[in-house]
Structure 1
Amino acid sequence: MKDPLHLSEQVCFPVYSFAKEIINRYRPFLEELELTYPQYLVMMVLWEFEQLTVNQIGEKLQLDSGTLTPLLKRMELKGFVIRVRSSVDERIVNISLTEKGKALKVRAACIPTKMMEAMDISLEDLMVLKNIIAKISKK
């Protein structure tokens, strides 16, 4: 009888290892853009919505403001985003793209294709994987 507590019997460990591997494969492409992986996620959300509050970004990326705030400050120093406190409620911080941040989207457009090539996987296989992950995480 197999021991259910052996690492080789676990689903969680290969998923954990895979997540780390994916982020590592993004690294060389993102370094060219001066972005970390979490910053890249923020940029993708802002490329889609252009302006959001810190809380809205956090909801979309499942990150808390304690994680986002220092990350956004570094992105502002690089000139990719602007952080502005709301005049109505100073607890709310609005994040918007700068022209430099908007322009970065053109340079980042090739990353998904480069990632598929780096992983040597087809779009169809990626979609199957994405659908399985979404089913498990109910997203």
Structure 2
Amino acid sequence: MPSSPEPGTRESAHEEEPWLSSDEVAKLWPVRKDWLPGVAHRADVRVRRSGGASRGTWGAEPTFYHFHPGDVRRAAPAIAEGHLDIPSNWRTDTPDGRRTEFWGTLIARVAGTLLLVAVLCGLLLILGTAVFLLTVE
């Protein structure tokens, strides 16, 4: 596989095309979105990263990745055909990857539903308490 140019290499103005977002790359590569930067590193795809600065106690800002379009197109056949060494649970076209995606989605939905139920129960408890206190003499 040919080596890509250094990340700091400037392109001429007529060659410059918009870099691809993670959503666009996820449509081209059979890879789960969480693992796109790792796969890009393994495939020598240039990546621009923005955000991710520390907020101290509050964690970190979201990190956004943009991928070089020429490098993405160059790496797409190698990734699709399995010539690149990618763990099977990172991919969307393997049983391990589909299973990991399913369980991750299921856990997130169950957790969201439980959180919503807890908030609604809390609101009903507060409303019930207010009604009880207003009706008691």
Q: Does the TM-score normalized on the shorter chain lie above 0.5?
A: no
TM-score normalised per structure 2: 0.29
TM-score by length of 1: 0.28
Q: Which has the higher contact order (CA 8 A, sep 6+)?
A: 2
Q: Which has the higher helix share?
A: 1
Larger Cα-atom Rg = 2
